[in-house]
Amino acid sequence: MSETVKNKGWIVTFAGTGINLALGILYTWSIFKGAIEKSIKAGGDGAFNWDLVKLNDPYSVCCLVFAFSMILAGRVQDKFGPRITAFIGGILVGIGFLWTSQTTAYVSWILGFGVLVGAGIGFGYSSATPPALKWFPAAKTGLISGLVVSGFGLASVYIAPLSKLFLGAFGINTSMMIFGIAFIIIVCGLSTLLVNPHDGFVPGGATAASNNNAASKPNEFSPKTMMKTGTFWLIWLIYFIGAGAGLMVIGSVAGMAKASLGELAFIAVAIMAIGNAGGRIVAGVSSDKFGRKATLITLLLFQAVLMLVAIPLVSSSSTSAVLIVLLATFIGFNYGSNLSLFPSITKDYWGLKSFGMNYGIVFTAWGVGGFVMSRISQMLKTSTGSFTSSFVIAAILLVIGALLTAIAIKSPAKSA
């Protein structure tokens, strides 16, 4: 690759990472949820008046809309390019935050945060990874994918303390307004740097083209063809398990940490974000070196062990803050690995030509997993007063996911 091409590829990569750094505010929901819960319990004029069992609903709907909007966004990305797609995402996220800044109504938060912000995140997120992958050879797929999506995971490092600061100084509604304005400027601005390479471009030059063209054509699947393969449905199910187990913890981690950290519980959210981002990069690099399958099995089993370890740690009021933070970091690490492994898996199995829409379809597993698992977690927490049942269910599902990966998933060549 020439120096100019390398530089262009890295500019696109880091622009995508920057967009994800903004859109990753989704992972700070537990802090917003805490402020809403506090308002509900305090009552009074202008307070939130929600049923406590519905506290996770805007987050759950956001995850679901985010995932399914990736299909439309992927289609827009494939047809019109990443710039337009990311710009639309920035506008939608901004409008959603501005809407919630004007209301405490449950339905308005579902529509504003859940639907508009969710759709905006879907458009922004779907536009970040595909153009970056197209500038680099296959040997760097995991690394580039991990770097771009690490921004989404790393976002809570700055957004968590910033949210805490804004909530204390301005309250939740004004805080949402500030974030809305900021994200319109940031996401729409960075969208101008996203660009695909020219038609016929092959990473690595003419030699790579002559070596890779014949091999790559059989792996170019349309969305319709991809969905007819048994491998697609297995990968979808495994993604549902891996992402859902992580999202149910991420959405409530501040509440889990409150017993040990008190008002500093946001620290657990921020440090977990470091693990989340690190998991995306480490898993991406590891999968390039040791294979996607081996990396995925290892991380699913590790996540299952962490879920079981979490039971005595979270349920005890005497657990040290250090252990809570370590637990949050490792859970974030394992969850984050899914977000770099599955884009890479999608490219490996079904190619880059329809990658935007193909990965959008695969990504629905993330949304359904987040919606189902976070909803179940909140219901169990409300009825039992603890997260024990949630952790046990998640651990069992993660082991099943690892077994399915080991036994049923074939190599890309065989599955085609």
Classify burial at 383, counting beta carbons within 10 Å of its beta carbon; exposed 0-12, middle 13-18, buried 19 or more.
exposed
| The pLDDT of residue 299 | 93
| The pLDDT of residue 192 | 94
Tokens matching residue 350:
């079904």
User: Is pLDDT larger for residue 254 or for residue 301?
Assistant: 301
pLDDT at 169 over 80: yes
Tokens matching residue 30:
């537990």
| The pLDDT of residue 366 | 85
Tokens matching residue 275:
């693990």
- 311-333: pLDDT as tens digits: 887 666 666 767 777 877 888 88
Tokens matching residue 19:
């967009």
- 262-307: pLDDT as tens digits: 666 667 667 777 888 888 899 999 999 999 999 999 999 999 998 8
- 359-372: pLDDT as tens digits: 989 989 988 887 78
Give the DSSP H or E segment for 402.
Answer: helix 388-408
What phi and psi, each to the nearest 5 degrees, are found at residue 329?
A: -65, -45
Domains of the chain: 3-196+218-411 (1.20.1250.20)
Residues 305, 396: Cα–Cα separation, whole Å:
10
pLDDT at 356 over 60: yes
| The pLDDT of residue 87 | 97
